[in-house]
């Protein structure tokens, strides 16, 4: 019987080529798009799931408060948290502290390698995390001072094929460091990544024997990970933190400081954590779940196509069902027959979907920014998804049509009394409304994402970052950094294409890592101390970036003896300090960690980071010998020659150091890289969803017109015009599109409103975001309907009246 069912199914596919093509193509495109998005979502959800002890690993996150008001939220919080919590809470099995060490220049014999991501780490790192060592002992590799573990790729760059264990590297410290371990390169799907790990004991060695840095509650910048004992309740442990931390902070009487510590599950960090001093850029959980929703939409739209087309052409197969029932076929046998057709169609669609995935995988990888290779095809998870789509698709798309078609009564069929069921017609209309509503909803979302990204990229930042070349900080050791930098600036400024050069601890487009708490006006109580972000720069920093001066003055060489003890505030910092009018702060003195600084000027707020973030309270300090990134304002007229001249001067005054540079405007816009990729993926799959919906609409309209061919012929004989017939055919679909818009518009507004709330600076939701998608869908729908409608309206009525 199964062989017979398959034979009949193949005959039906061959007999109805247009129906088969539309259904198979629609299902295949929907499945391919769905599977690609599902792989994207699965990858994003896979971050840090390879760690053996992942269920028991938590990061300690920190909220800082000033007088009970939340001021900052940290991924890298107080240094004391790990060791103090371990000593006082038996639920904690182990902990590790990880602290950023900044970039270093690694020197081995004649080899020099600039390593940008370097961390100090405690010895428990390899006990807590499953980053495998390929050489060295994970239990002792980070135990001694001046010990390092290096990644496999960087080890090969420095040492070639020789065994690096025991080799000494020069980092510019007074003492060389020893390689005690080599670890595999970090996988892509981890929130933490580094070029090299220095032992935490090295940091303590730098701090000195009298330092209490390891026990400080008010110094931030330490990533702390806890390994809980099996069965420990993280929420109960969090609750215990509160009274203990309050007791610890009580020693800072009158400071107004406070902090709250909570536990972040390791696997949730990538998609749910966006705090200060993250180990790296994290993903966006909201965007990932939205894309998962798109995948569901596209697949459901494809299934709806099959249901609509199968039931719409049911009247055409009514006589077949009637004859089969008359000859003794049971309803169960007919259901099996039609389900077999659904299985065959879905099977062919799956084969075509896999072929489409192979062809378009490189394009998808480029659009999404997520490298997915053809090894995907050998992963069990992928084939589990394929099998799931095949089974679910066959059932959901085939079951309802099978029930409808098998339910025809043979007496009515043979007498020619069969007509389309009102309930069936209504259900098809509801499903068409869903398709259009989903298409409009996706278009509203896609247009909103595009407008928000354009708004951010075109927004006035409040500073001038154009034509700015940034040289990464020099890493090689020199006798006097200040003298070398001053000589480099003086020599480079002789070039007419170089407008200005400035050095700073931070540049626009990056978070300000220098966070200072307890800053207050001189003479006020300790409880008035608040947290500010500090940017240290030379005399030229604010002027070079064109920061708008509101009042007072900027740093100047005329005041070179006093300006190192002066500060400039931005408007938000002045307001946070308690001044109703920013200019009232000029001339006032602040207590900055026991030293007194005079406020000499106030500048306007500007966007230090992307428009995701609100304005920061910034304090600018003049540090003539600051070590940091070098920002060079240049003319682009003779760009290659200018860069060559800067490189030559850099090599002259910083011998042995790499001339590593980038352009600031491009660097700033890199902050929107993830947003742009999300927008591209959203737009691409919105287009796919609409295309699949149009395929189904094309098929549905074709069968609708076939059913009304005789009616059209009669109307033409009675004098109906072509326009009149077109209006008749358009009317029903126009109603469906309008209903779809009324359904999708409020849902689209709500979804866009929630998404835009993640941006501190955002567009307003305007009526054009809804009108344009509505017009697009109306145009596409009517263009689809028009092709077939014109053919029907222009048909010779004599031929129409002969139609059965």
Instruction: Give the Cα separation of 41 and 150 in Å (integer).
Output: 31
- pLDDT greater at residue 265 or residue 710: 265
Half-sphere exposure of 690 (CA within 13 A, CB side): 22
Q: 673-707 and 422-458 helices cross at what angle (nearest 10)?
A: 150
- Number of structural domains found in the chain: 3
Over pLDDT 90: what percentage of the chain? Answer: 49
pLDDT tens figures, 443-460: 999 999 999 999 998 889
Q: Are residues 677 and 661 in the same domain?
A: no
Where residue 368 falls among pLDDT bands split at 50, 70, 90? confident
- pLDDT greater at residue 218 or residue 165: 165
Judge whether residue 8 has pLDDT over 80: no
Instruction: Give the Cα separation of 206 and 534 in Å (integer).
Output: 23
Phi, psi of 468 (to 5 degrees): -120, 120
Instruction: Give the Cα separation of 468 and 102 in Å (integer).
Output: 23
Q: Which residues pair with 149 in a beta bridge?
A: 181, 197
- On whether residue 263 sits in a domain, the answer given is yes
| Count of other CB atoms within 10 angstroms of residue 246 | 12
Q: Are residues 7 and 150 in the same domain?
A: no
Whole-number mean pLDDT of the chain? 86
Q: Are residues 703 and 662 in the same domain?
A: no
pLDDT tens figures, 110-140: 888 889 899 999 999 999 999 999 999 999 9
pLDDT tens figures, 517-576: 889 999 998 888 888 999 999 999 999 999 999 999 999 999 999 999 999 999 999 999
Where residue 407 falls among pLDDT bands split at 50, 70, 90? low
Q: Which residues pair with 40 in a beta bridge?
A: none
Instruction: Give the Cα separation of 163 and 179 in Å (integer).
Output: 10
- pLDDT greater at residue 757 or residue 796: 757
Say if CB 552 and CB 568 are below 8 A apart: yes
Judge whether residue 792 has pLDDT over 80: no
Q: Are residues 257 and 291 in the same domain?
A: no
Q: Lowest mean pLDDT: which of 62-71, 145-154, 263-272, 744-753? A: 62-71
Q: How far is CA 221 from CA 120, 534, 696, in A?
A: 11, 14, 56
pLDDT reported for residue 250 = 86
Mean pLDDT of 631-636: 94
| Domain end among 667, 682, 702 | 667
Judge whether residue 674 has pLDDT over 80: yes
Instruction: Give the Cα separation of 466 and 471 in Å (integer).
Output: 15
Say if CB 730 and CB 785 are below 8 A apart: yes
Q: How far is CA 421 from CA 127, 315, 503, in A?
A: 67, 10, 78
pLDDT tens figures, 500-511: 999 999 999 998
Where residue 801 falls among pLDDT bands split at 50, 70, 90? low
Which pTM was predicted?
0.84
Say if CB 273 and CB 61 are below 8 A apart: yes
Mean pLDDT of 2-28: 73
Q: Are residues 452 and 498 in the same domain?
A: no
- On whether residue 377 sits in a domain, the answer given is no
HEC-encoded secondary structure of 603-652: ECCCCCCCCCCCCCCEEEEECCCCCCEEEEEECCCCHHHHHHHHHHHHHH
Judge whether residue 199 has pLDDT over 90: yes
| Domain end among 611, 645, 667 | 667
And the tokens for 622?
Answer: 């003049």
Please say whether the dihedral angle defined by the alpha carbons of residues 759, 760, 762 and 764, taken in this order, is positive or negative.
positive
Rounded to an integer, what is the distance from CA 55 to the centroid of its chain?
24
- On whether residue 462 sits in a domain, the answer given is no
Instruction: Give the Cα separation of 196 and 173 in Å (integer).
Output: 16
| Domain end among 613, 632, 667 | 667
Judge whether residue 418 has pLDDT over 50: no
The domain in which residue 715 lies consists of 2-29+285-350+387-457+673-801
- pLDDT greater at residue 8 or residue 496: 496
Instruction: Give the Cα separation of 545 and 148 in Å (integer).
Output: 39
Helix (H) or strand (E) holding 42: helix 17-45
Say if CB 16 and CB 345 are below 8 A apart: no
Q: Are residues 306 and 238 in the same domain?
A: no
- On whether residue 315 sits in a domain, the answer given is yes
Mean pLDDT of 259-285: 92
- pLDDT greater at residue 776 or residue 599: 599
Where residue 410 falls among pLDDT bands split at 50, 70, 90? low
pLDDT tens figures, 279-326: 988 888 888 888 888 888 888 888 887 777 766 665 556 666 666 666
């Amino acid at each position: 019987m199964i062989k017979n069912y398959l034979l009949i199914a193949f005959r039906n596919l061959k007999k109805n080529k247009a129906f088969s093509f539309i259904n198979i193509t629609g299902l295949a495109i929907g499945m391919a798009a769905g599977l690609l998005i599902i792989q994207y979502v699965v990858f994003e959800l896979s971050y840090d799931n390879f760690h053996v002890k992942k269920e028991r690993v938590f990061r300690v996150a920190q909220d800082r408060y000033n007088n009970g008001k939340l001021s900052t939220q940290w991924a890298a919080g107080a240094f004391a948290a790990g060791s103090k919590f371990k000593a006082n809470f038996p639920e904690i099995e182990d902990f590790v502290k990880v602290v950023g060490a900044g970039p270093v220049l690694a020197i081995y014999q004649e080899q020099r390698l600039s390593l940008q991501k370097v961390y100090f780490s405690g010895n428990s790192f390899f006990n807590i995390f499953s980053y495998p060592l390929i050489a060295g002992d994970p239990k002792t590799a980070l135990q001694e001072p001046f010990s390092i573990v290096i990644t496999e790729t960087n080890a090969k760059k420095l040492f070639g094929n020789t065994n690096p264990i025991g080799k000494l590297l020069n980092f510019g410290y007074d003492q060389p460091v020893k390689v005690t371990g080599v670890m595999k390169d970090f996988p892509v799907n981890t929130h933490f990544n580094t070029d090299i790990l220095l032992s935490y004991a090295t940091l303590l060695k730098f701090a000195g024997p009298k330092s209490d840095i390891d026990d400080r509650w008010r110094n931030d910048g330490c990533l702390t990970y806890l390994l809980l004992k099996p069965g420990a309740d993280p929420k109960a442990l969090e609750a215990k933190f509160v009274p203990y931390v309050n007791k610890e902070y009580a020693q800072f009487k009158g400071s107004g400081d406070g902090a709250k510590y909570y536990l972040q599950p390791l696997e949730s960090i990538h998609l749910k954590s966006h705090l200060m001093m993250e180990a790296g850029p994290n993903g966006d959980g909201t965007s990932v779940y939205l894309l998962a929703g798109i995948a569901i939409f596209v697949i459901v739209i494809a299934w709806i196509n099959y249901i609509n087309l199968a039931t719409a052409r049911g009247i055409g197969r009514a006589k077949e069902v009637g004859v089969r029932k008359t000859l003794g076929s049971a309803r169960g046998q007919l259901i099996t027959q039609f389900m077999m057709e659904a299985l065959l169609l879905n099977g062919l669609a799956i084969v075509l979907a896999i072929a489409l995935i192979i062809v378009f995988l490189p394009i998808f990888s480029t659009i999404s920014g997520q490298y997915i290779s053809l090894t995907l095809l050998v992963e069990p998870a992928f084939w589990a998804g394929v099998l799931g789509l095949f089974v679910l698709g066959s059932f959901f798309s085939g079951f309802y049509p099978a029930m409808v078609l098998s339910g025809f009564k043979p007496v009515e069929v043979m007498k020619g009394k069969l007509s389309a069921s009102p309930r069936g017609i209504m259900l098809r209309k509801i499903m068409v409304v869903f398709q259009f509503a989903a298409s409009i909803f996706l278009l509203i979302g896609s247009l909103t994402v595009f407008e928000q990204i354009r708004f951010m990229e075109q927004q006035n930042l409040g500073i001038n970052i154009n034509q700015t070349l940034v040289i990464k900080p020099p890493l090689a050791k020199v006798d006097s950094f200040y003298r070398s930098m001053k000589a480099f600036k003086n020599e480079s400024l002789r070039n007419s294409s170089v407008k200005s050069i400035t050095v700073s601890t931070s540049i626009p487009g990056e978070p300000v890592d220098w966070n200072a708490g307890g800053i207050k006006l001189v003479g006020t109580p300790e409880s008035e101390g608040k947290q500010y972000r500090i940017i240290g720069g030379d005399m030229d920093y604010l002027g070079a970036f064109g920061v708008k001066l509101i009042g007072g003055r900027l740093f100047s060489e005329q005041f070179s003896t006093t300006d190192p003890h002066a500060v400039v505030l931005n408007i938000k910092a002045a307001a946070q300090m308690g001044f109703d009018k920013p200019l009232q702060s000029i001339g006032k003195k602040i207590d900055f960690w026991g030293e007194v600084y005079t406020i000499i000027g106030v500048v306007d707020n500007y966007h230090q980071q992307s428009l995701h973030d609100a304005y920061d309270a910034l304090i600018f300090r003049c540090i003539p010998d600051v070590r940091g990134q070098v920002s060079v304002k240049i003319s682009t007229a003779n760009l290659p020659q200018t860069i060559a001249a800067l490189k030559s001067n850099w090599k002259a005054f910083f011998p042995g150091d790499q001339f590593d540079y980038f352009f600031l405007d491009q660097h700033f816009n890199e902050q929107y890289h993830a947003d742009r990729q999300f927008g591209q993926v959203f737009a691409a799959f919105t287009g796919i969803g609409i295309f699949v919906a149009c395929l189904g609409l094309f098929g549905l309209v074709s069968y609708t017109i076939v059913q009304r061919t005789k009616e059209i012929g009669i109307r033409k004989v009675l004098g109906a015009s072509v326009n009149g017939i077109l209006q008749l055919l358009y009317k029903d679909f126009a109603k469906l599109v309008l209903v779809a818009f009324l359904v999708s518009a409020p849902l689209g507004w709500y979804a866009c409103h929630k998404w835009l709330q993640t941006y501190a600076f955002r567009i307003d939701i305007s009526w054009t975001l809804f009108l344009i998608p509505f017009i697009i869908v109306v145009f596409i729908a009517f263009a689809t309907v028009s092709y077939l409608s014109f053919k029907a309206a222009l048909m010779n009525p004599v031929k129409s009246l002969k139609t059965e």
